[in-house]
């Protein structure tokens, strides 16, 4: 008797893959964020080496009443949460060093040097929102993981190596709780609703009311297939018709069409043609 390999992979699995290493910024402002305008993503920290990691670690307390054989549903609560973003910066710019040093300031030392030094103050320490942007297959918009009120929390170490090593400025940002809401974890994720990079098909003529049948053409990108339906159902490779020739609309109908290329599926377009024959 033969056995098949069991797998949870399905036709939509490829659309949910995340591609690293991602982009790290600081100063992320959700109110200004526009995924189509990278100037609104915050200040880019530049090239990294060794990957970037966003982490949320939560601790829970379970109360187990007498007689219970184990943990009881509903009798658990959150007691601690730590949100962090760790990156390895290849760019040892002045801005990155000051961000890492945090309580240091830059002053002009000479016409050739700025001096980065501590001014003696111990508080308050500046915080910023930091964000990790990662590409999601099947979406034109990135996943964005945000650590709120973050500040560097690890030692400052610059290892110049031997000349055959990567010199990186490792930085670990830790999210700080807002004093006005001390139980809200300073961590959130912006998850794209959709928006495939594949353009939706174009349809001609436009929807409308006509006194005679219409010959409808559908166009998509060069390598994409187009599927359409006339019964109002969702078109796909498993439902409807593969577009090859212009579609004759002889009675009132709603044409729905979608472009498909590999694992990518475009937005669906809807065109209603009302045919009022004499």
- Counting Cβ atoms within 10 Å, is residue 102 exposed (0-12), middle (13-18) or buried (19+)? middle
Angle at 157 between CA 156 and CA 159, to 5 degrees: 165
The pLDDT score that the predictor gives to residue 195 is 61
Boundaries of every domain in the chain: 13-190, 202-275
Any idea which residue has 């961000």 for tokens?
Answer: 99
What are the pLDDT tens digits along the chain (278 aa)?
678 788 888 767 767 888 889 999 999 999 999 988 999 999 999 999 999 999 999 999 999 999 999 999 999 999 999 999 999 999 999 999 999 999 999 999 999 999 999 989 998 889 999 999 998 877 778 899 999 999 999 999 999 989 998 999 999 999 999 999 999 999 999 999 866 678 889 999 999 999 999 999 999 987 899 999 998 888 888 889 999 999 999 999 999 999 988 767 888 899 999 999 87
The pLDDT score that the predictor gives to residue 79 is 98
In angstroms, the CA 60 to CA 55 distance is: 16
CATH of domain 202-275: 2.60.40
The pLDDT score that the predictor gives to residue 11 is 67
């Amino acid at each position: 008797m033969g056995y098949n390999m069991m797998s949870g992979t399905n036709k939509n699995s490829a659309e949910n893959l995340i591609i690293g290493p991602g982009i790290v910024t600081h100063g992320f402002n959700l109110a200004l964020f526009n995924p189509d305008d990278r100037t609104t993503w915050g200040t880019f920290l530049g090239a990294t080496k060794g990957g970037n990691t966003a982490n949320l670690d939560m601790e829970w307390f379970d109360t187990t009443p007498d007689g219970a054989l184990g943990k009881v549903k509903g009798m658990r609560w959150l007691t601690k949460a730590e949100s962090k973003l760790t990156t390895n910066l290849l760019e040892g710019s002045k801005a990155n060093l000051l961000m890492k040093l945090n309580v240091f300031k830059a002053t002009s030392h000479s016409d050739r040097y700025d001096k980065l030094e501590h001014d003696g103050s111990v508080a308050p320490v500046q915080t910023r929102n930091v964000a990790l942007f990662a590409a999601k297959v099947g979406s034109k918009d990135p996943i964005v993981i945000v650590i709120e009120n973050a500040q560097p929390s690890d030692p400052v170490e610059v290892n110049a190596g031997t000349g055959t090593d990567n010199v990186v400025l490792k930085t670990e940002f830790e999210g700080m709780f807002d004093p006005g809401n001390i139980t809200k974890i300073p961590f959130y994720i912006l998850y794209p609703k959709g928006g495939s990079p594949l353009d939706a098909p174009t349809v001609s003529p436009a929807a409308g009311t006509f006194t005679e049948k219409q010959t409808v053409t559908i166009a998509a990108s060069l390598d994409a297939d187009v599927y359409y339906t006339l019964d109002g159902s969702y078109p796909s490779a498993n439902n409807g018709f593969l577009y090859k020739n212009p579609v004759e609309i002889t009675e009132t109908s709603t044409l729905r069409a979608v472009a498909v290329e590999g694992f990518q599926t475009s937005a669906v377009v809807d065109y209603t043609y009302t045919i009022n024959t004499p």
